[in-house]
Each structure stands twice: as C-alpha cells, then as structure tokens.
Amino acid sequence: MKQIAYTLLGALALLASACSHQSDSASDTAAEAEEPRNLLYGIDAENYRTESAEIRSGETLGKILGNYGVSAAMIDRLDKVSAEIFPLRNIRAGHRYMAFIHEDSLYEPHLDYLAYERSATDYVVFGFENDSITVTEGAKELTLRRQKKSATINSSLWGAIMDQNLPYALAAELEDIYQWTVDFFGIQKGDNFTVIYDEKFIEDSIPAGIGRIWGAKFTHAGKEYYAIPFRQNEKIQYWEYDGASLRKQMLKAPLKYTRISSRFTYARKHPIYKVYRPHTGVDYAAPKGTPVHATADGTVIFKGWGGGGGNTLKIKHAGNLMTGYLHLSGYAKGIRQGSHVSQGQLIGYVGSTGASTGPHLDYRIWKNGKPIDPLKIPQEPAEPIAKANRAEFEFVRDRIVAELEGDVKEEEKITQLDSIVLPTATPAPTGTQTPASAS
C-alpha cells in the first residue's frame, strides 16, 4: 500500500513538472511572440502605419502636427514640455521625420508618435498616445568596423583623403593629432600615411562618421611620425614611438585649411607700398571669417588697432615668447586685454583690415622682443610617458605598430585602453638567452 502511495506521489510530481515545463515553454513562446519585429526609433512599427518625409524650407513642427490632426492646445502643451529637452524651433529644413499612425474602430487616423532626426544618428520622439505628451531622445544603433587605410599625398592631405574615398572626418582628426608635429602647409608630394580607425555605420550599412583613431604613421619629408594612443593622467593622448608626447609647447599654425602666401623675410616688396621692407611673420591666405586659434597658453597683452596690421591681438607666453595675429576681421567673444587663453582656443577671425590686399592672417612670433620665423621655432614637447607606465605603453605601441606595418590576428589587436593586462613573462629555459623585446 505504501509502495502504491509512493508511486502515485511520483506520478503526480512528474505530471506537475511536465505542466510546469509546458507552462514555462508557453511563457517563453509568448515572450518571443511579444518581441518587436520592426523597431524604428524605439517604437514597434508593426502596430502602426508610418509616413516619412523631409522638412521643407519654412515648415514648422506645429504645421506638420496640425496636418496630422494634433490640436493647437496639444501643440502648445508639447512646446512647453519639450522646451528644455528639444525646443520645437530647433527643427531644420532638410531633416527627416516619421509619423506613426493608428486607426481607431471607426478607421479614424490618430498620430501617436512623430520621430524627428536631429542628425544622422540622433533623434527625438514626440508622443501623443492616449492624449498624453512625451518627449524622448534616442540614438540609432551603431556598429563599428576597424579599418586600416593608406594613401600617398599628391597635393594635400584633404586631396589624398578625397582621392581614396575615405571619410572626410579622417583629415580633420589627423590634423588634430599631428598639429604640433607635421607642417601641413609644407606637405610634399610623396608624403604618405597609414591610419587605423573605427568607422561607424547605421544599420550596418550607412556610414556615420568615425570613432577612435587606434594608431597612425605619417611620413613627411622622409621622416616617420607615429601616433600611439595611450591613457596617462586619466586622459587618452597620442604619443611618438619613443614615448614623447605629440603635443608641443606651440601649435604649428593658428588656423586650418589655408595656404602660405608670404613667408618670413627681411626684404619683401610690400604689395601696397611697393617698397622692400622686412616682413617678420607668415601670411596665411584664408577666407574672411576663418577661425583663428591661440598657438599656446598665454595672456592677451594687446587688443586693438595696429595701424597697417589692422585689428591685432598680441599674446604673451612662457619662455619670453609673444605671438601676434594681424588683419583680423573681429575678435572671439570674451577676448580682451588681460584675458588668459589656452592653446587651441578661438581668439578671432581672418580678415583684411589695415594695409591688406585680401583676407589673410599675418602671424608673428617674438622671443625676448626679437622677431623669429614662426616656421622654424624650436618645439619643446609636453610631459613624456611616465616611467611607471613605460611597460604598458610599449605593450600597446608594439601591437599598434605591428598592425600598421602588416596584418595581425584579431586577438592581438589593441581594442581598449583602460586596463592593459601585460602578458606574464615565461622564464627562459636554462642555457638559452631571452630575446630582446622590440623597441
């Protein structure tokens, strides 16, 4: 009898287990069935009819919403709710939007959501479901692809980027990294570069810019300049092969995307006065309004009219150095005599004020009051790799250089810079010599 009871209890337990398993399976199936099949801007588009269009010139969000039946009172509420998240006046012509519409039991259409693309990746969703107002920011999912590209320069860095159909942002990034080291106004035909970077894609196919530069080698005038990323003092910066900082005391130039129209000389025929006189600066031809940046940390000691130099700024720097910026069309906000400025800070704009035949910047440097050629100033590097970080830096450097010079296995590539784990050294067998590490 007792045996029959045990058997019955066992059967009941198995039945309960089976029911529980079936219940779990049913729950799993239901959960799978509830997974959105067509997620757009964070919304399950399967539940809606969608319409997409581009904002036309002069069109307002209020007008667009009104066309979808959103009342003026609801639009006014939306304007107040979104004021600190995304003001409605910030929509721009040429940007796309998508409307999510459902139909009620009488087949009357109702707008539940309108998604507006702020950029190629970022969007904001305005919600009107059940007469409530919501404003939600979001970003499209991006995938990263590690790229390694090389190019030879025939005319300019930008020209080489365009010739190879590389992302335009790559030129700006390389100029930022090498701005203290490579003279981009002295680029020579035959100079070349190799760069490793992350390229961003939307929906795995639409290019959306670039991410981190993982390393570069720039060959200029026969000399190789490496750029190795490494975190020191809580900041990721770029370093030369030997661990010296690529950052120097002064920028190579105070502006970008220009050409040198006149160099430092003590005997130049002045284009207006037609006499030979010293020109102790470098003229950078550039469109009016081109941003001008301070080439080093310092203090503004002169702001005003400089006679033939027009609107002029002079900045005093460490080491008894002073820089001058002449013929400006205007000054940046907040720049005044006595202001402290940081290297790379916007200080003014290219113009043609004073004795000038066209828009350009006359850039000058004095040391101990004596003019020196801005293109030949000796550069002192910033703090190098610390001794305590040397082993980690060399670990990163050797793998980046190996990738720049050839193909390496995926597992050997540097993919993060926060916590480098050095490989454990294997003791050399007795009687053998440990190979020297690459340097």
Q: What is the mean pLDDT of residues 2-15?
A: 44
315-353 per-position pLDDT tens digit: 999 878 899 999 999 999 999 999 999 988 999 999 999
At 302 the pLDDT is: 96
Q: What is the mean pLDDT of residues 83-109?
A: 90
Q: What is the CATH number of domain 259-376?
A: 2.70.70.10
At 424 the pLDDT is: 60
Phi and psi (nearest 5°) for 131? 65, 15
At 177 the pLDDT is: 93
Percent of the chain beyond pLDDT 90? Answer: 50
191-246 per-position pLDDT tens digit: 999 999 999 998 778 888 899 999 999 999 889 999 999 999 888 999 999 999 88
Closest by CA position to 250, among listed 351, 341, 348, 329: 341
124-150 per-position pLDDT tens digit: 999 998 888 999 999 988 899 999 999
At 382 the pLDDT is: 75
The topology under which CATH files domain 39-139 is Nuclear Transport Factor 2; Chain: A, (3.10.450)
pLDDT range class, residue 292, cuts 50, 70, 90: very high
Closest by CA position to 364, among listed 247, 254, 267, 248: 254
The residue ranges of every structural domain in the chain are: 39-139, 142-248+382-418, 259-376
At 104 the pLDDT is: 79
Percent of the chain beyond pLDDT 70? Answer: 81
Mean pLDDT of the chain: 83
Q: Is the pLDDT confidence value at 50 over 90?
A: yes
Q: What is the mean pLDDT of residues 238-267?
A: 78
Top pLDDT among 407 and 400 is at 400
The topology under which CATH files domain 142-248+382-418 is Nuclear Transport Factor 2; Chain: A, (3.10.450)
pLDDT range class, residue 383, cuts 50, 70, 90: confident
Q: Do domains 39-139 and 259-376 have the same CATH topology?
A: no
Q: What is the mean pLDDT of residues 49-73?
A: 93
At 222 the pLDDT is: 87
